[in-house]
Amino acid sequence: MTNHDTRQDGARRVGQVKEVTSLANPIVKDIKALSQKKARDEAGTFLAEGLKLIIDALDLGWTIRTLIYSKAAKGKPLVEQVAARTVAAGGLVLEVSEKVMGSIVRRDNPQMVAGVFDQRWKPLKDVSLKAGETWVALDRVRDPGNLGTIIRTADAAGASGVMLVDECTDPYSMETVRATMGSMFNIPLVRTTSQAFREWKKSSGVQLVATHLAGAVDYRKIDYARAPVVLLMGNEQSGLPEDLAKAADRLARIPQQGRADSLNLAIATGIMLFEARRHLLVLDEAR
């Protein structure tokens, strides 16, 4: 590779790789702005960190816009492969100093590789559950860590997707993306309103199991194999609103002991997911 371009903005082009050492570089500024929801919404992109995660995303067909790696990763075969795949997909490859990488991912000990990907949203009208499928619907989830944990758990339980009902925390924030540990690339996301969700439910043929602290049904007594299941979970502070609770076929409760008023939302979702899919989950003893 030959150097053929040196600029005032702290960027130098080496072959198809751009070397950037300046925090003031405009591309770096645009990537850093992705820590803000407004910039993510405008660009329709988001930032994800970690080599394995980026390889998984590319394998699953996600579109990479920019690959960023720190100098220490230069020459590593897997990084070179990912860089070649990024260029082949029409993306940009940036080689940056550790200082620039740390400021992009907002960490002191940053991962060596990060990527900017296009966001993906599945339209609700395209969601049609088949036998054995389970989706999670979250009413106004607020906490990014909860949402990331739920997406990761949904993936681990073999669920088919997560719906975000009304104003939810952004699944493409750095905190949520980190908490998903890569599962977000495997779990379709839908955003919708309460009204559209309730309308969709009427013709969907799904069994809507809503979890509620006042639920009368023990969550272990439901026949989850009867029809495809959507598990509806309430907001962390206020629980499920009445209109959503009324749309449910069953109002399920997880029995509790002790002094806690309720379970953490992500924990309750995990318990429900593994119960709803218990008949479908088998231990692969050969692993």
For residue 213, state whether it binds ligand SAM (rule: CB under 6 A): yes
Give the count of residues interacting with ligand SAM (CB under 6 A): 16
Q: Which of residues 229-248 bind ligand SAM (CB under 6 A)?
A: 233-234, 236, 238-240
CB of 263 to ligand SAM, least distance (A): 4
For residue 254, state whether it binds ligand SAM (rule: CB under 6 A): yes
CA nearest 53: which of 182, 154, 155? 182
Whole-number Å distance between alpha carbons of 134 and 112? 36
Whole-number Å distance between alpha carbons of 141 and 145? 10
For residue 263, state whether it binds ligand SAM (rule: CB under 6 A): yes
Nearer to ligand SAM, 185 or 219 (CB): 219
For residue 150, state whether it binds ligand SAM (rule: CB under 6 A): no
* Contact (Cβ atoms closer than 8 angstroms) between residue 51 and residue 111: yes
Nearer to ligand SAM, 169 or 211 (CB): 211
CA nearest 275: which of 240, 214, 231, 212? 231
Nearer to ligand SAM, 49 or 143 (CB): 143
For residue 220, state whether it binds ligand SAM (rule: CB under 6 A): no
CB of 268 to ligand SAM, least distance (A): 4
Stretch that binds ligand SAM, among 31-39, 158-166, 242-250, 260-268 (CB under 6 A): 260-268
For residue 265, state whether it binds ligand SAM (rule: CB under 6 A): yes
Whole-number Å distance between alpha carbons of 71 and 211? 49
Stretch that binds ligand SAM, among 14-22, 65-73, 84-92, 208-216 (CB under 6 A): 208-216
Binding site for ligand SAM (CB under 6 A): 211, 213, 215, 233-234, 236, 238-240, 253-254, 256, 262-263, 265, 268
